[in-house]
Copies of this chain bind each other. A is one copy, B any other.
Amino acid sequence: MTNSPAVVDFLDRLRLVTGSSTAGLHEPEFRGNESRYVTECIDSGYVSSVGEFVTRFEQSITQYVGSASTVAIVNGTAALHLALLAVGVRPGDEVLVPALSFVATANAVSHAGAIPHFVDVEEERWGIDASALREHIAAIGIVRDGNLYNRTTERPITAIIPMHTLGHPCAVADLTELADEFGLLMVEDAAESLGSTVGELYTGLFGRLGVFSFNGNKTITTGGGGAIVTKDEKLAGLVRHLSTTARISHPYEFDHDAVGYNYRMPNINAALGLAQMEQLPNLVDRQRKLFKRYNHVFSGGEFGEVHREPLGARSNYWLQALKLRSDRRANKSVLIESSVDAGIPVRPLWKPLNTLSPYISHPSSRTAVANDLYERVICLPSSASLTERDFPLEA
């Protein structure tokens, strides 16, 4: 099949950035101390849940984001699950979740026995829309004794999980205000936004607890891994306790005072993570450079706009994305398929979570913006390695 002129144009523009790269959508890069620290870890004999690399990795995150404490966790889904338990979400609660997110956001709520209640996102930042949510609450909610309930399901709505889509900070100030007003526990899904800031504060520190992911496709990776950060030292202690087997400290006796989760990150993964943390500022700089390149090649606006950080925030630009012009939405599938066929790994956004079979009957606001973004956005190749080649259009 011959590609249409528009598709040829699209592929040519992408290739100005990707060249002949065969890298996947977002591949990690190991050019620092990764092998060295991991080998040191193996040589030390301590590869499991106890070891100095876990401590050093946690400290490096604490220092970088300025949290009071960091707890390294086996992955981002587990971290979000544990964070919800630690702040007090209970089985049967409803938790407000953006309809536009990776499925893990909703799954973690399900794992806690709670019910994801999907809400729409805003056009600018692609995170939860505070004013639309306010209207939705007015329509479906009722406040009794200071607690918010869903009038239809009669379940309490107890928490909200803002997510920073593709690394770009969402409307944390508005959402914090809304959460305070309705007594909602706020847990921040910063899985994609390690290194992004709003004003002077790093994402992850706006909620009572914030969660990072270090899956292989993230800005930095530990193989599989996650972390919970907080400004609340006492809450961090609870998280740490539940992330183990909740064993009562004793030189040798096995006694446990709670149902623990065995969610600690192993030392060998933390060794990889410590080396990756050393590369983080450089990796974020290069992702920001990559944005400029894509912005340059799509600058005419014929296809649409490359997604950019909101005013007042600095993004880690984890995943680059092009939002097609509204009249181009019918081209999304053919552009994606043609690119994938040509070896350029682009992707759509996630299907809105309220359309997935396990969640289709869950409570949801109308999600016009999430649906619109799903129909129009193409995620672009975002491996840091792409910045290593010369960019022909750069001065």
> A: which residues have CB within 8 A of B?
27-30, 34-35, 38-39, 42-43, 45-50, 74-78, 91, 102-104, 107, 110-111, 113, 215-217, 221-225, 245-247, 251-262, 264-269, 272, 336, 340, 346-351, 356-358
Chain B residues contacting A348 (CB-CB under 8 Å) are 252-254
- Our pick among B39, B257, B262, B336 for the contact of A78 (Cβ within 8 Å) is B262
Chain B residues contacting A222 (CB-CB under 8 Å) are 266
Number of identical protomers: 2
Contacts A/B (CB < 8 Å), 22 sampled:
A30-B47, A38-B42, A38-B268, A39-B39, A42-B272, A47-B221, A48-B221, A74-B78, A102-B245, A103-B260, A104-B262, A107-B260, A107-B262, A111-B261, A222-B266, A223-B267, A251-B340, A253-B348, A254-B347, A257-B357, A258-B357, A259-B358
Chain B residues contacting A113 (CB-CB under 8 Å) are 91, 113
> In the complex, are the beta carbons of B351 and A255 less than 8 A apart?
yes
> In the complex, are the beta carbons of A254 and B39 less than 8 A apart?
no
Residue of B nearest to A75 (CB): B262
- Our pick among B28, B104, B256 for the contact of A45 (Cβ within 8 Å) is B28
Question: Are A30 and B45 CB-contacts (below 8 A) given A261-B111, A269-B223?
Answer: yes
> In the complex, are the beta carbons of A350 and B77 less than 8 A apart?
no
> In the complex, are the beta carbons of B223 and A266 less than 8 A apart?
yes
> In the complex, are the beta carbons of B358 and A102 less than 8 A apart?
no
A312 CB to closest chain B CB (Å) equals: 30
Chain B residues contacting A216 (CB-CB under 8 Å) are 46-50, 266
Once bound together, how far apart are the Cα atoms of A38 and B268, in whole Å? 10
Question: Are A256 and B38 CB-contacts (below 8 A) given A223-B47, A261-B77?
Answer: no
Chain B residues contacting A45 (CB-CB under 8 Å) are 27-30
- Our pick among B107, B247, B267, B340 for the contact of A259 (Cβ within 8 Å) is B107
> In the complex, are the beta carbons of A356 and B255 less than 8 A apart?
yes
Question: Are A217 and B48 CB-contacts (below 8 A) given A104-B245, A107-B261?
Answer: yes
Once bound together, how far apart are the Cα atoms of A233 and B213, in whole Å? 32
A223 CB to closest chain B CB (Å) equals: 3
A40 CB to closest chain B CB (Å) equals: 10
Once bound together, how far apart are the Cα atoms of A45 and B256, in whole Å? 39
Question: Are A42 and B34 CB-contacts (below 8 A) given A252-B348, A351-B254?
Answer: yes
A178 CB to closest chain B CB (Å) equals: 27
Once bound together, how far apart are the Cα atoms of A215 and B264, in whole Å? 11
> In the complex, are the beta carbons of A266 and B39 less than 8 A apart?
no
A227 CB to closest chain B CB (Å) equals: 15
Q: Which of A35, A76, A223 has its CB near the most chain B CB atoms (within 10 A)? A: A223
- Our pick among B38, B217, B224, B357 for the contact of A266 (Cβ within 8 Å) is B224
Chain B residues contacting A340 (CB-CB under 8 Å) are 251-252
